[in-house]
Amino acid sequence: MADKIVDKIVDKIVEDRAMLAGCLLIVLFVVMAIFSPWLSPYDPFAQNISLRLSPPGAKHWLGTDGYGRDILSRIIWGSRISITIGIFAVGIGAALGIMAGLISGFFGGAIDNVIMRVVDTLLVLPTILLALVIVAMLGPSIFNVMIAVGISNAPRFARIIRAEVLSVKKMDYVAAAFALGASHKRLILRHILPNTFASLLVLSTLRVAQAITTEASLSFLGLGAQPPTPTWGSMIADGRVFLRTSPWIPIFPGIMIMLIVMGFNLFGDGLRDILDPKLRGSKGK
């Protein structure tokens, strides 16, 4: 089954230019994140007051910030935080959501009712607000942002997985496995969970884009990674005070956020078209 999905994805990437562009953008940023120590021309933390607020030029391609730090180097290092938080937060959200969705959909009844009411409550608050509240409780740090963005993503996964479980568990092969004496654990892990893979893949890709934006927003508000760690959101926040004189400071990190989010959106849209047309329009806010 996984082979078939991979084949479908490869075929789609070859024929769909938008998905190909999305894929290329993601690869570009992942490479940037992995090889940042070798790709960045300067130390992202090194301050040089004599060069502060230098405009983009031959020496510093994207200019320098208020402490004379090279913006390109900080952007390259910042990609690590964005991508790591994006992927891990969605991983945390998916893990929690899958667990809740599987239990809720499989067992039904009172347990389903309780889990779904919790999910409804969490869905009432917009992702950014829920993440803000959780960071407010835990305190600002990269790890806490990951947890906060993860938890705020979980209800969406729970909803989708529950719906999938409800439709899959009615299938004849699940009834046959049950009649043959398969345990609940076996039914869930061997027969139901693999069938939710396509929806999970689509939702995860689209939610990474959302998670990156949420992380950037939290960092912008000063509730993410703390200085001097370079994150795109905090770079934009730092650049606010120089908006009039040195607009390049906030402009370039913002373009990076836009490009990476665009990459995940394009790739996710393509995945959705081939794997799960039901999810059309589910790109959360």
Partner 1 sequence: MDELEDVSRRVLAIIPTLLGAVTLAFLVIHLAPGDPVQTLMGDYDAPPEVVEKLRAQFGLDKPLYVQYGIYVLNVLRGDFGRSLRTEREVMSEILRVFPHTLFLAIVAVVLAILIGLPLGMISATRSNTAVDHLSRILALSGISMPSFWLALILLLFFSVYTGWFPLVGAGEMENPISLLHHLFLPALTLAVRDAAAISRLTRSSLLEILRQDYILTARAKGLAERAVTYKHALKNALIPIVTVVSLDLGYTLGGTVVIEAVFSRPGLGTLIIQSIYARDYPQLQGAIVFFALCFVIVNLVTDIVYKFVDPRIEYKRAP
By CB under 8 A, tell whether 201 contacts partner 1.
Answer: no
Binding footprint of partner 1, residue count (CB under 8 A): 50
Q: Give yes or no for residue 53 binding partner 1 (CB under 8 A).
A: no
Nearer to partner 1, 230 or 250 (CB): 250
Residue 129: CB minimum distance to partner 1, A: 5
Minimum separation from the CB atom of position 128 to partner 1 (A): 6
**Site map (CB under 8 A) of partner 1, residues 91-120, x = contact:** --------------------------xx-x
Q: Does 124 bind partner 1 (CB under 8 A)?
A: yes
Q: Write the burial class of residue 164 (CB in 10 Å: 0-12 exposed, 13-18 middle, 19+ buried).
A: buried
* Listed residue (213, 215, 210, 214) closest to 282, CA to CA: 210
Of residues 5 and 18, the one with the C-beta less far from partner 1: 18
* 209 near partner 1 (CB under 8 A): yes
Considering beta carbons, is residue 46 or 243 the nearer one to partner 1? 243
Distance CA 157, CA 94 (A): 6
Binding test (CB under 8 A) with partner 1, winner from 20, 24, 51, 221 = 221
166 binds partner 1 (CB under 8 A): yes
By CB under 8 A, residue 68 contacts partner 1: no
How many residues can be counted in the chain?
A: 285
Q: What contacts 24+ positions apart, CB below 8 Å, involve 235-242?
A: 235/65, 235/71, 235/74, 235/75, 235/78, 238/65, 238/66, 239/65, 241/66, 242/53, 242/65, 242/66
Nearer to partner 1, 113 or 183 (CB): 113
Residue 219 is which amino acid?
Answer: S
Residue whose pair of structure tokens reads 């200085």 in the numeric block = 227
240 binds partner 1 (CB under 8 A): yes
Q: Pick the binder of partner 1 from 121, 171, 173, 228 (CB under 8 A).
A: 121
Q: Cβ distance 161 to 112 under 8 Å?
A: no
| Alpha-carbon separation of residue 160 from 104, 125, 201 (angstroms) | 11, 18, 11
Give the burial class of 197: count Cβ atoms within 10 A of its Cβ; 0-12 exposed, 13-18 middle, 19 or more buried. Answer: middle
Using CB under 8 A, list all residues that contact partner 1: 117-118, 120-122, 124-129, 132-133, 135-139, 163, 166, 209, 213, 216-217, 220-223, 233, 236, 239-240, 243-244, 247, 250-251, 253-254, 257-259, 261-262, 265-266, 280-281, 283, 285
